[in-house]
Amino acid sequence: MFKPIDRALIHRYWTPERKKQLLGSKKLLLLPWEAPEVLVTMDLMNPEGSLTRSQTKKLLQVNHMLGLLRPTLQNLASQHPLLRIAEGACGNSYVSLLLAWYFTAVEPHPVMIIGTDSNPKVIAQSQERAAFLGLQKTLRFAICGLEDFRWLPLIAELFPEHVTAAKDPEESASDKERRLRPHLFVALHACDALSCRAIFHAMQLKADCLAIAPCCQAELAAQWKALSPAKDPPSVMRAIFSSPHLRRTTAADFTDTIRLLLMRSLGYDCEAIEFVPSEHTPKNRLLLAQRQRQYDLKSLRELEDFKTICGEETIELERLLEGQLEPYRTRLAEKPLI
């Protein structure tokens, strides 16, 4: 159980000198003296207000991430009276908590957030945090892995008050799913192919925006390792394929490049950006995407060209999207881009 926060104690701790030392010239959205309950609950601050060196780094990382997401959050809030947000493989649900806090304390806006994870223990802890912070009306959780993710049943179970009736009495299940789609789908540090599944679910649901921070990307490296110099055709990548360190690091970059091009091919504007300074962690890439169109043949052509360099091996996301890609690949083959 979480203990009540003594705000007077925290305010006494954060003297003008300490505030200046923390902030310098930085502008932070999440401040220790303004949101102590959130930070203490997330173990980013001690109960009396002090910060360890590690907590200070994490606080700055969290604020940097919020700053990156803020334009997307503001844009979505301007378009939708009620925002729907999904976080897959939420773990300790810190992202969901921050988003619920943001739309409550920083820029108030109606929002419903669903966090899912296959681990019952972290879901129970997340529910306790949300209840302690008074966020349970906007933030709710379910034990559900990305392998079994089903959006409509989750909404019906967790937010029945927001499942509005269709204007069309003959609305199909797919049309209902699009109408009640998540506007933002988030997955931070879902390991290996789980990041692919998060992207796939978001794209299947036609989510307006995605924020994906991949982690532990071993799938492509394992396929490269299995290549046989004697049996497989020569490749300009052979030196990388046969060097364990280069194979791991290059495969991680190539995996995200393939993900980026797949999202662009199916209509999302996608960029790969640094969301945590590299001196803090090497797992610092955020794939930020926004749905703009149905497809993009130029990006699909770039994907096909890219794969001639890195080999014909594929990743989970490409296999999951094969049915959607096939008609555009056919079109590209019939009428190649000049």
Q: What are the backbone dihedrals phi and psi of residue 297, each rounded to the nearest 5 degrees, phi first?
A: -65, -30
Q: How far apart are CA 290 and CA 51, in angstroms?
A: 36
Specify the higher pLDDT residue, 94 or 335.
94
Q: How far apart are CA 228 and CA 118, in angstroms?
A: 37
pLDDT band at residue 166 using 50, 70 and 90 as cut-offs: confident
Mapping DSSP to helix (H, G, I), strand (E, B) and coil, where does residue 239 land?
helix
pLDDT band at residue 231 using 50, 70 and 90 as cut-offs: low
Domain architecture of the chain: domains with CATH: 7-217+267-295 (3.40.50.150)
Q: Distances from the Cα of 194 to the Cαs of 17, 41, 122, 234, 328, in angstroms?
A: 44, 27, 17, 31, 25
pLDDT band at residue 309 using 50, 70 and 90 as cut-offs: confident
Q: Is the pLDDT of residue 233 over 60?
A: no
Question: pTM, whole model, 2 decimals?
Answer: 0.94
pLDDT for 76-130, tens place per residue?
Answer: 999 999 999 999 999 999 999 999 999 999 999 999 999 999 999 999 999 999 9
pLDDT for 171-194, tens place per residue?
Answer: 888 888 889 999 999 999 888 789
Burial of 174 (0-12, 13-18, 19+ CB in 10 A): exposed
Rounded to 10°, the helix 94-101/120-132 angle is: 20
pLDDT band at residue 315 using 50, 70 and 90 as cut-offs: very high
pLDDT for 278? 55
Specify the higher pLDDT residue, 36 or 169.
36
CB 308 within 8 A of CB 191: no
Q: How far apart are CA 91 and CA 94, in angstroms?
A: 8
pLDDT for 168? 81
pLDDT band at residue 260 using 50, 70 and 90 as cut-offs: very high
Q: DSSP labels for 153-188?
A: HHHHHH-GGG-PPPSSTT--HHHHHHHT--SEEEEE
